[in-house]
Homo-oligomer: A and B are copies of this chain.
């Protein structure tokens, strides 16, 4: 067994994963990758058609011409979400032509990627470096994947590629519209998804780039969210996605009374603490509770005559409504969650495409996350030290990706509105199953039965000392949950490492171990 060492948050980390030396997490801001960014090979225009037309007959032909071979790393983005019809077919082709031991490097995976399990079993794919949602996570947790999974945040993925930790051999980028030169965006077409903010890193740094579209449009296809100058081939297919599974027509505010209560408490806390203020920068998600918080915040801003200066997406129709009413001045957007948001990107001047490359990249000359005043995030578990987990459940199963969660922890005020328990399992633990983010970066936990402020935030504790809100310690919240549900059970896991959890700087903050059924 590989040697393990204890990292700065006390977790045991193998010194080597997938044959590469690891750097154990050293503490926040303690690790700076040295050296230079990754440098793709120099191309020459004479190796590409003079007339600019890079359309090729099929994905198979494109992959073969890109030199697909054993052991390569293939990247994809997840903008087509659960309607993605492209990612799985790459590995069907690879399997058909007998290529083995690939690394799949998606920006996220979805239940629609369940067929990938077959390619993990038949040897086409060695491992996934990316999120493990649902069935793929279960497969990994059972120790069935040949290689070790590596999970990175959206920003960490950018960092890993930029810094040469992950070398993308071929990026296969689905595009709702593309011209023959490879200029692509997501504004139009049957699979329009608004924005391709996760594909920037891939096209800039991959050795070879294939654009796959079901909507070949006239040159020049502007704006160039993907620049044709970086594209090797354009493949035209019948359908890249299933529209109703790409964007939801129905992102909806929660109707659960408990969740609405959490949202109301959160909004009131934001107001009383004066974190919510005129001109604030805010980010929430598209979950039902987050949308409810957005709704309450919207009402407060309106009643005060205030504006949010900017909101960072994933965008929703609710954010668009704020923008259109003038309650939010800018939406910066890497991903559109619903049809209202997709339409807005094409129409509203202040709804900007803003790649995670620019928003979340910790190895950049600044990024957006540290500028955010209000950051609403989720968690599967938190612990009494405010450490957060977003990837595993309390039974030890790896069922979620990190998303932008770690990146967003760099905001000024990080608020986790979470239920005190789920399915009678307490959410607050003595110790989280997997540490995805250190407690020192999480400021406020809001539950339906009380709000805990991180003791490090003396300013907030002080500000809220006369509040009528149910401010409690995190230990009190934990005790309340256990009084109702009984004490938390530890998951039954083996020593075998099945996945590494990277921090935003490329160090390993924790690992996931095989679950014993």
Contact = CB atoms under 8 A, between A and B. Distances in A.
A410 B46 CA distance: 10
A11 interface: no
A224 B365 CA distance: 15
A364 B41 contact: no
Contact of A232 (B230, B350, B365): B365
A34 B45 contact: no
Contacts of A309: 218
B357 A229 contact: yes
A42 B51 contact: no
22 contacts: A32-B44, A33-B42, A34-B42, A35-B41, A37-B42, A39-B39, A43-B365, A45-B361, A45-B363, A45-B365, A48-B365, A48-B366, A51-B371, A52-B368, A182-B365, A219-B371, A222-B350, A228-B365, A229-B357, A229-B361, A229-B366, A231-B365
A184 to B, nearest CB: 13
A44 B371 contact: no
Interface in A276-316: 309-310
A513 interface: no
A181 interface: yes
B229 A49 contact: no
A357 B368 CA distance: 26
Interface in A196-235: 209, 218-220, 222-224, 227-232
The copy count of this chain in the complex is 2
Given A220-B310, A352-B222, A361-B229, A367 B39 contact: no
A363 B42 CA distance: 6
A119 interface: no
Measured as residues with beta carbon below 8 angstroms from the partner, the interface class of chain A is 35 or more
A255 interface: no
A34 B357 CA distance: 28
Contact of A229 (B29, B44, B219, B364): B364
Nearest to A54: B366
B229 A52 contact: no
A54 B371 CA distance: 12
Nearest to A44: B32
A46 B29 contact: yes
Nearest to A159: B42
B45 A181 contact: no
Contact of A41 (B36, B51, B352): B36
Interface of A: 29, 32-46, 48-52, 54, 162-163, 181-182, 209, 218-220, 222-224, 227-232, 309-310, 330, 332, 350, 352, 354, 357-358, 361-368, 370-371, 410, 505
A41 B162 CA distance: 10
A362 B44 contact: yes
B371 A50 contact: yes
A313 to B, nearest CB: 13
A472 to B, nearest CB: 30
B52 A371 contact: yes
A367 to B, nearest CB: 5
A51 to B, nearest CB: 6
Contact of A35 (B42, B181, B222, B227): B42
Contacts of A38: 39
Contacts of A182: 365
5 closest residue pairs by CB, A with B: A36-B39, A48-B366, A39-B39, A50-B370, A229-B364
A228 B358 CA distance: 8
Contact of A36 (B35, B42, B229): B42
Q: Name, among A45, A182, A361, the residue most crowded by chain B CB atoms within 10 Å (CB to CB).
A: A45
Contacts of A162: 42
Nearest to A505: B44
Contacts of A330: 220, 222
A229 B367 contact: yes
Contacts of A54: 365-366
A227 B39 contact: no
Contacts of A364: 43, 45, 229-230
Contacts of A231: 365
Given A36-B40, A330-B220, A45 B370 contact: yes
